[in-house]
Amino acid sequence: MSKWRWSWLYPLTFVQEPAIKQNWNQRWKKTQNFTLGYLLLGSLLLSDIYNSADSYFGRWLATLSRVPTVIHHSTTSYFWLLAIGALSNSSPFQVPGLHIICSAASAVASATIIVASPVASATFTVSSAFRCAIRHSETANMFQSTVKHFWTSQPRNNVTSLLVDTLSKLPGMLASDTLHLRQAITQLLVAFVHQLYTGLFSVLSTLSEKSETMGPSHVLEVLQSSPNNAACQIALEFLARVVVLDDFDPTLVTECFNVLSSFVSVIDSTVAVAQESEELAALSATCFLYTYSHLSVMDPMSGVLEDVHQHYNMVFPLGVDFKGLPFYYTLGTIHELFNSDQRHQQHARIEWQDYKPPSSGCAVFTCSLTKLALSEYQRRKKVPCWILHFVLHSMSLDPSPSTPDIVECLSIIAIGMGCNISRTRTILDNRYVHTK
Amino acid sequence: MIEATNPDPIYSMRKVLTVLFPYIAQQKQHKMLDVFLCVVRASGQSGFMWHWIRLPFITLLNEGSPVSLKQAAILASPYLPWWSFPNDEHLIQLWAAAASRVPYTDKVGQSVIDTLLQIASNGSLRPHIPVDMWSWLNNRPNLPPTCIGRLQGSIQVVVQAVRALGNMETLKSYLLLVWSEWDPIHLGGVRNYSGQHCSYQKSLPEMCTSIREDFKGNRMEKHREDLLQWLDHILGQLELGLSHLQKQKPNLNGESIKQMMKQYEELESVLLEVGGKQLTADTRRIRRREEREKRGKGRGEEKGNVGPNQPMLKGMGHVSATT
């Protein structure tokens, strides 16, 4: 940008000079330009306050200034440790706040990518607006013409009269420029908000389209790339919301179980959940149940089912009791599922008397039970009693469970009565029921 | 006619059907409930419902629940496996309280009495029956051909329990309810909850003793007449033969008809003996046949005036099993 374009800012530079400060203040009052006047006044006032405070409390500030230095050094050391821990997972400096920083950093990076494009676009609009305002500035044009006139006029002795003439015109032009500038600021603000909104909307639309096209295969990719907990949680949360399990890879069942077994373990017949990972453990249990039930319906002969069954029995012995865990019903269902064939050995049976369906969210758990009922009916020609007991309990709740839950419960009853429910049915819609 | 269907497939699905009950009860649709109860009844098995139904049942019977839910629970109560709830005083109290809140209809009366007799036949539950619940017997509703409580409620201990109440009207109503052409008086041994065989039941001798001791004297003549009239009706139906009765209860067989004939003739002779009448059983049989023929002629003369062969007793009548 050429230098002359900033010429409309020169009067403000003059105002900063102490010699003519008072004179200019008086002139500003006359021009009735409130906006720039108040801006100027505010900055002068702040400057005075700072100078006074510096002289009076200089000593105290000097003493106090040592405290931030100590804090600064400690914080710098801590952040170095964080940085080293973040760069290498094998680093011994895995300080407690590291995962928060990592997740925050990834969130900031994602947000930056999302916001960068509309912000760049909006910035371009702002700069264009400013350029336009400067180009049409009367003050700048006047200075330009004055300087041109000064160089072209042959007797150059009338400089004083020229300067006086210019200065006399200056307040009126400044007022006019200020008005134009206000209009420009308003216009650019509107333009900025519009650009930002349009940009963000387009980004969000793209993301939403992407999430619609995302499927279990993407979740599998995320889980297989051994990500951190935050990424894992996002992937599993997505999986728990997926209504149609298209392009379903059976390996997803194994991956979900791996996540579950990495957070839940059994030590001396006692179930232990990794600290601060209860939510993720519950989510992985839900997803494992969901994917396992889906696979057991879609491909009952899949070798993955057998492998996972064996793996489960190694991790969770028969006598383990999940009572007391916040996700007892999910784990209890899985345990019941894998041990219901063990007729000669006792295992802790699942009890539903305290079960309450979640107040929000879709009926993933009930849908999983419906799929299990379907697969068990295909295998044994009967729905297991523990699933029927769940339905009986859910149907007897006061207040009644949500409509999706009731629909799933009625589906289980229909399966038990020998109705043929489509295997590819989704949680809430595309329901096809045929009586035999 | 649902009684004619094969009950086995339905019984095999009893758990699934049980699970459906709370939903049907909450829908407040009488037709749906009626169909459900018909299907359950058609299974022809005692203790149809799954024992897990206890908790949902308590929810339905609770004081705070609407009358419609209470009514649904009362109507379904005969199909509960009462034998699997030993010493469950709470459940019986709730059931009794709910029965008193529900508006009386013939179906409600049938269900309450059916359930009452089932509960009374269980040694651990009988002591918890509120005394005023026995007065429901005085309503004498028409019990259907398949009625679990009628057979179970004719055991000796129940006869003794009703006699112990000391109310002749209730005792007579009880006998009129358990005597039926659809079921014999219970003679077999019964098992308690732990599966042990109880002592052999002597229901018939207990009833004969009751007639001799409780219904003797001139003051009891009216009661004896009512009982005789009812026995006359039952024997008349039995004399019509197996094929006639099987139309409404297909699982009846010739042996049980013979057994019932023998039982009710014995009761009839005891009643006649107590009343001091000299009519033998053969004489009464001939008289019944003559009366039947007379009615047959009357039916031909008076078209449209086809009355069932039954005595004019309160609430009692020929029960259609069609549903």
Residue B52 to residue A396, Cβ atoms within 8 A? no
Residue A157 has pLDDT above 50, yes or no: yes
Tell me the DSSP string of A236-261: HHHHHH-SS-TT--THHHHHHHHHHH
DSSP A27-74: HHHHHT-HHHHHHHHHHHHHHHHHHHHHHHSHHHHHHHTHHHHHHHHH
Question: Which residue in chain A is spatially nearest to B9 when comparing CA positions?
Answer: A417
Q: What is the pLDDT of residues A239-253, one digit of tens each?
A: 887 767 777 888 999
pLDDT tens digits, residue range B26-81? Answer: 887 788 888 888 888 877 666 678 888 998 899 899 988 899 999 999 999 999 99
Q: Which residues of A touch B17 (CB under 8 A)?
A: 417
Distance, CA of A274 to CA of A283 (rounded, Å): 13
Task: Count the Cβ atoms, other than its own, within 10 Å of residue B298.
Answer: 12
Q: Indicate the pTM of the whole model.
A: 0.63
Which residues have a Cβ under 8 Å from the Cβ of B87 and sit 6 or more positions away? B124, B125, B128
* Same domain assignment for residues B133 and B165: no
3-state secondary structure A317-328: CCCCCCCCCCCH
| In a shared domain, residues B192 and B55 | no
Q: Is the pLDDT of residue A376 over 70?
A: yes
Residues B183 and B317 in one domain: yes
Residue A346 within a domain: no
- State the total domains in chain A: 1
Q: What percent of chain B has pLDDT over 90?
A: 46
Classify residue B138 by its DSSP letter.
Answer: G
Is there a domain that residue A234 lies in? Answer: no
Dig out the tokens for B7 from the structure.
């009950």
Number of domains in chain B: 2
CA–CA distance, A315 with A326 (Å, rounded to integer): 19
Do B117 and B52 sit in the same domain of this protein? yes
User: Could you identify the residue written with the tokens 């009982």?
Assistant: B227
| A22, part of any domain | no
* Torsions phi, psi for A266 (to 5 deg): -115, 120
Average pLDDT over residues A48-62: 54
Confidence of residue B317 (pLDDT cuts 50, 70, 90): very low
Better pLDDT: A30 or B169: B169
- Give residue A101's Cα distance to chain centre: 14
B295 part of a folded domain: no
Regarding whether B158 and B132 lie in a shared domain, the answer is no
One domain, residues B47 and B126? yes
**Interface contact flag, A413 B56, Cβ < 8 Å:** no
In a domain, B300, yes or no: no
* Cβ-nearest to A396 among B13, B15, B56: B56
Q: Three-state DSSP class for A434?
A: strand
Within a domain: B44? yes
Q: Which amino acid is at B48?
A: F
Contact between B72 and B31 under an 8 Å Cβ cutoff? The reply is: no
Q: Is residue B294 part of a domain?
A: no
Q: Is residue B286 part of a domain?
A: no
Residue B186 falls within a domain, yes or no? yes
The answer to whether B23 contacts chain A (CB < 8 Å) is yes
The contact set of A with B (CB < 8 A) is 353, 383, 385, 388-389, 391-393, 395-396, 398, 400, 406, 409-410, 412-413, 416-417
Given this model, what pLDDT does residue B96 score? 96
- Residue A157 CB-density burial (10 A; 0-12 exposed, 13-18 middle, 19+ buried): exposed
In a domain? residue A159:
yes
Q: Does B67 touch chain A (CB under 8 A)?
A: no
Number of residues assigned to chain A = 436
Enumerate the β-bridge partners of residue A270: A267
Beta bridge partners of A265: A272
Query: Which of B114, B143, B172 represents a domain boundary (last residue)?
Result: B143
**Domain assignment of residue A135, yes or no:** yes
B312 and B176 in one domain? yes
Could you tell me if residue B313 is inside a domain? Answer: yes
Q: Could you report the per-residue pLDDT of A142-151, keeping only the tens digit for each?
A: 777 777 776 6
Residue from A401, A400, A372 nearest A386 by CA: A372
pLDDT, residue A209, reads: 54
Which among B110, B143, B176 is the end of a domain? Answer: B143
Are B207 and B69 in the same domain?
no
In a domain, residue A130? The reply is yes
The per-residue pLDDT for range A391-430, each reduced to its tens digit, is 999 998 888 888 888 889 999 999 998 888 776 655 444 4
Does residue B323 sit in the same domain as residue B186?
yes
Q: What is the pLDDT, as a whole number, of residue A148?
A: 74
For residue B77, what pLDDT is reported? 94
Shortest Cα distance from B29 to chain A (angstroms)?
Answer: 16
Q: Is the pLDDT at B119 greater than 60, yes or no?
A: yes
What pLDDT score was predicted for residue B201?
60
Please check the confidence at residue A124 and state whether its pLDDT lies above 50. Answer: yes
8 Å CB contact between B106 and B146: no
Structural domain of B323: 154-280+308-323
State yes or no: pLDDT of A90 exceeds 50: no
pLDDT for the residue B106? 93
- Which of A322-326, B43-47, B244-248 shows the lowest per-residue confidence on average (mean pLDDT)? B43-47
Q: Based on the domain organization, do B9 and B98 belong to the same domain?
A: yes
Q: For the packed helices A229-241 and A98-135, what is the interaxial angle rounded to 10 degrees?
A: 80
Give per-residue pLDDT as tens, B287-304: 777 777 777 666 555 444
B175 and B48: one domain? no
- Mean pLDDT over A213-233 rounds to 75
Q: Give me the pLDDT at residue B308, please.
A: 38
Q: What is the mean pLDDT of residues A271-282?
A: 86
Say if residue B139 is in the same domain as residue B75. Answer: yes
**Which residue range forms the structural domain that includes residue A175?**
102-213
State percent of chain B over pLDDT 70.
82
User: What mean pLDDT is predicted for residues B247-256?
Assistant: 87
CB contact under 8 A, A396 and B16: no
- Sign for the pseudo-dihedral over CA of B130, B132, B138, B142: negative
Q: What is chain B's mean pLDDT, rounded?
A: 83
Q: Which helix (H) or strand (E) holds A418?
A: none
Would residue A163 count as lying in a domain?
yes
Contact A299, A250 (CB under 8 A): yes
3-state secondary structure of A158: coil
User: CA-CA distance, A376 to A378, in Å (whole number)?
Assistant: 5
Any domain includes A39: no
Domain assignment present for residue B148? The answer is no
**Pair A322, A309: CB distance under 8 Å:** no
Q: Which has the minimum average pLDDT: A49-63, A303-317, B77-91, B203-217?
A: A49-63
CB B150 within 8 A of CB B113: no
Q: Which two tokens stand for residue B15?
A: 């758990």
What is the distance between the alpha carbons of residues A374 and A299, in angstroms, rounded to a whole number? Answer: 12
Quick check: A73 pLDDT over 50? Answer: yes
Do B138 and B173 form a contact (C-beta atoms < 8 A)?
A: yes
**Where residue B186 falls among pLDDT bands split at 50, 70, 90?**
confident
Say whether A416 and B15 touch across the interface (CB within 8 A): yes
